[in-house]
Amino acid sequence: MTNNKQKLFLLFIACYLLSAVSLSAGGKKDSDEQNTLNNEWILCVTAFDYSLLPSAKHITGDVITRSLVNKLDAVSYRFRISPEYAYYENYAWQQAVSTAAKAFSNKQNERSQLLFRGDPDWKYRSNLKKIDADLVKLEETYAQKVAEKPLINEEPLFSLSQSNLNGTYPAPPKAGGERRFCQSQKSDAFLTGQIREFHNRYYVKLSLFILYTDSWVYEDDVIFSLEDIDGAVNEIAARLDATLAGNKPASVAVTVDPPESQILLNRNYAGTGTAEKRERPPGNIIIAVAADGFVPESVETELTAGEHVDIAVTLAPMQYADVNVNVRGNDGAAVYHGALYVGAAPLTLRLPIDQLDYVNVKARNGETAKAVFTSPPMPGGVTTLSLKTRVPPPLGQKRVNKARSWYYWAWGGAWMTVIAAWISDGMFSTYNNALAQSDDPALFESAQRLSYVRSGAIIGLGAALTYAFFQMGRYLYTASDDVTPIIKTERQ
């Protein structure tokens, strides 16, 4: 009896400990685990375009496509950087708020329709009380959805679209339909490509469109022979895998003196004076800085994943020198610095030192002049630019095209006379050699006629070559007649 009591007591203790452990585990799950949204990142691979391949090699294009898709198994998850996370967070928040608002609106419509159902008073009051209670809960749910942002998975699992998993590749969308294509395929991005022949080799070009940026974010290409197909696919797949997996973002902050300087990050405006810390995808970045009265600068650096870089730039004040512009024999001619009118000659231009500049002049009588020159290399320097105007060449007559055409015809005629002179000289030499071994008068007359022909061909060749060189000079002169000269200034 005692043994039975001991066994029952031990069994009770074991059940108690087991229930305590299960309750503890259940409580930890409810409090610590949070449900996340967008737990998968879906890629759709479209059918590659290999219509430019010969029909006999279409099977090779299909092999390349499937080999590349098989290599994507190396990607298991994608790391979302802040802009991508914000896109999906905002999208999910709008969806949740819209759903909650729609449920509240439907319940309000249901409440309004109670008056028209003809229910008895007791049933009407009962249903009204129930709907009002539901409205209170739905309003609280709506307020909660508005106040809280949903939690998005920062490292979603990578997967191919359902159509790809079924072994099919949909046709790529036309330009402008990329976003709609992603939505129809329920994918976050799609990969398309082109395969064509290039001098008995294969040329593969890939392009990746990502939904959250609504743009093409990746392009790559490779040329290879059929024997190197495995190595080429491995190479291009490795670069593609790195893009699909994502990277931890880098960050950069820029401070510029003077404070009014304009800052561009990869040609995108980033602020004035100071660009606060902002995340950037790893890779090269070019910071361009400019301000009025200062020498612009650009800084190029490479950002690695997870790295933060602080960049400080101090612009040097712009230094100036004077350039006197004189127009010989045409005082008062209009002077343009680039396309900007700056005054009448003679005048002095104050320009940044040691830079290429362009001026053009238009006199009152219609004559023009233009020049490219270098400003003085030292601050405070003074140089003089002397220009001579002339009548501009006529416009709209295609002078260069005509001169080129005459030049080509002249050289074509010269080559024809070369061939004629070579043939006539060969024929004369043959008859002349035969005449040395024969006294036939007919043979002598033929050789004499060929001598005249050869002499005429040689004279024609000389004339043709002379005319060809003349047309070549005319063509070179006409082609360079309106070219802007580079003029050396006179230092003072």
Of the CA atoms within 13 Å of residue 91, those in its CB half-sphere come to 12
- Closest to 445 in 3D by CA, of 460, 435, 437, 458: 435
- 4 band by pLDDT with thresholds 50, 70 and 90: low
The domain spans of the chain are: 41-245, 250-314, 320-387, 399-480
What pLDDT digit, counting tens, does each position of 301-317 carry? Answer: 888 777 889 999 999 99
Domains 250-314 and 320-387 share a fold: yes
Q: 75-102: per-residue pLDDT in tens? A: 887 877 677 878 878 877 777 778 888 8
| pLDDT at residue number 125 | 81
Q: What does the pLDDT read at residue 281?
A: 65
- Please tell me the distance from the alpha carbon of residue 97 to that of residue 156, in angstroms, as a whole number: 23
Instruction: Specify the length of the chain in residues.
Output: 492
The answer on pLDDT for 27 being more than 50 is: no
Dihedral sign, Cα of residue 149, residue 150, residue 153, residue 157 = negative
Integer angstrom CA distances of residue 300 from 229, 264, 277, 285, 309 = 36, 12, 17, 6, 12
State pLDDT tens for residues 44-61.
999 999 888 888 888 888
Within 10 angstroms of residue 454's Cβ, the number of other Cβ atoms is 21
CATH 3.30.2290.10 fits 250-314, yes or no: no
Secondary structure (3-state) at 364:
coil
Mean pLDDT taken over the chain? 82
> pLDDT digits over 471-482, tens only?
999 888 888 777
Q: What is the CA radius of gyration of the chain?
A: 42
Q: Is 20 exposed, middle or buried (0-12, 13-18, 19+ CB in 10 A)?
A: exposed
User: Token pair 């709209």 is at which residue?
Assistant: 396
> pLDDT digits over 179-207, tens only?
999 999 999 999 999 998 888 888 999 99
Helical segments of 74-158, H only: 82-113, 121-147
Secondary structure, 3-state, 66-84: HHHHHHHHHCCECCCCHHH
Half-sphere exposure of 310 (CA within 13 A, CB side): 2
CATH code for the part of the protein at 320-387? 2.60.40.2070
- For the record, the structure tokens of 71 come out as 């290599």
